[in-house]
Amino acid sequence: MTSTSAGIVVVTGGAGFIGSHVVERLIGLGRRVVVIDDFRTGKRANLAPWADRARFGFAGTEPALEVLTVDVAEGIFAALAPVTARFGPVERVIHLAAQVSVVASVENPLVDVHVNYRGTVQVLEYARAAGVRKVAFASSSAVYGDVDELPVREATPCQPLSPYGIDKYASEKMLHYYSAVHGVPTTALRFFNVYGPRQDPSSPYSGVISIFADRGRDGRDLTIFGDGEQTRDFVYVGDVARAVVDAALGDAGDRAVLNVGTSREITINELATTIAGLCGRGSRIVHAPARSGEIVRSVAAVDRAREVLGFTAATSLTDGLRETLRSVGAMA
């Protein structure tokens, strides 16, 4: 018997970039997974390999993966009812579904509030009603805003600069409230800049690595906004999935807020040079005017996640970039 006999793990936003890696990891651990996604940015293709349980050696007749097409901020009680009637209760929830664009949150804050705040409260209401044993939530380094001291620690005062950052921060507070008042164990994970296979380069808001990978594959110019000395903490998606799954399946870290990064500060110049070199297709690095409002430097302090979850990001930037570039055909 597989451990699908353990309770269901719900992954909201499971058809997205990070979500699909989380699903991959959970199914690899033998867990029964239910994805909740409305496919506004997620893709069915991201889940296709796990829709076929036979490839994962599930001997039973029941599926290891169910996908429910539903808005996380609206219908999750009704959508989950038939699944739990058949397979038993939801044991753990990984809440990743979100409107993921800072720029879009500025343009349309009501959508951001609906998905990124109301959606979180819906998940927590479900968790309270169903007696869920842990909710792990994808927060963001965007909660910090401009900070005076680096590396950024979880205790650094948060000054979010966008509706996206504000809704993530408010969601963290709601997690804490549900744990303290309703006894729902919760962990919030503040992801830094996540990259890796299945990140969508077509979105104008996509991560810089997926855009550079896409352009580097075709030998097109890599455009850096500003002097390129701005920095980020790039963390590989496989490491992020491990942190999230460990936080969700373990009971450690109730009410914890944890940075998920590498503690390595990488300039955009260094990143572009490395990607152009790995692709080897003659991309030139060009500079365009700096974008206003962009945070200049960002790097995470990671000791708390190590202490609470035993988590360290294991993938070097070069190894992670190789995987990413291979996945889009930009490297042999």
Ligand X SMILES: NC(=O)c1ccc[n+]([C@@H]2O[C@H](COP(=O)([O-])OP(=O)(O)OC[C@H]3O[C@@H](n4cnc5c(N)ncnc54)[C@H](O)[C@@H]3O)[C@@H](O)[C@H]2O)c1
The kind and range of the H/E element at 82 are helix 76-87
Q: Which of residues 11, 27, 34, 72 is near ligand X by CB under 6 A?
A: 72
| Contact between 145 and 161 (Cβ < 8 Å) | yes
Residue 84 exposed, middle or buried by CB count within 10 Å (0-12, 13-18, 19+): middle
210 lies in the binding site for ligand X (CB under 6 A): no
Which of 13, 197, 216, 250: binder of ligand X (CB under 6 A)? 13
126 SS3 class: helix
Work out which of 7, 16, 165, 197 binds ligand X, going by CB under 6 A. Answer: 16
Nearest alpha-carbon partner for 275 in 314, 312, 313, 328? 328
In the complex, what is the shortest distance from the CB of residue 118 to ligand X, in angstroms, rounded to a whole number?
Answer: 9
Q: Cα(203)–Cα(241) distance, rounded to whole angstroms? A: 22
Asked if residue 98 binds ligand X (CB under 6 A), the reply is yes
Cα–Cα dist 328/332, whole Å? 10
Q: Is 15 in the site for ligand X (CB under 6 A)?
A: yes
Site for ligand X contains 264 (CB under 6 A)? no
- Is 164 catalytic? The answer is yes
Q: How far is the CB of 214 from ligand X (least distance, A)?
A: 15
Q: Which of 164, 169, 178, 236 is catalytic?
A: 164
Q: 2 or 90: whose CB is closer to ligand X? A: 90
Q: What is the token pair recorded at 262?
A: 């590498």
Residue 113 CB-half CA count within 13 A:
4
Q: Which of 18, 27 has the CB closer to ligand X?
A: 18
Q: How far is the CB of 37 from ligand X (least distance, A)?
A: 4
Question: Is residue 206 involved in binding ligand X (CB under 6 A)?
Answer: no
Give the shortest CB-65-to-ligand X separation in angstroms. Answer: 14
DSSP 8-class letter at 64: S
| Helix, strand, coil % in the chain, rounded to nearest 5 | 45, 20, 40
Q: Is 19 in the site for ligand X (CB under 6 A)?
A: yes
At closest approach, how far in Å is the CB of 133 from ligand X? 21
Q: What are the tokens at 259?
A: 């940075």
139 DSSP 8-state letter: E
Binding-residue pattern over the window 20 to 59 for ligand X, x denoting contact by CB under 6 A: ----------------xxxxxxx-----------------
Q: Which of 41, 35, 76 is nearest to 205 (CA)?
A: 41
Under rule CB under 6 A, residue 96 binds ligand X: yes
Residues at the interface with ligand X (CB under 6 A): 12-13, 15-19, 36-42, 71-73, 96-100, 115, 119, 138, 140, 191, 193-194, 207
Residues recognised as catalytic: 164
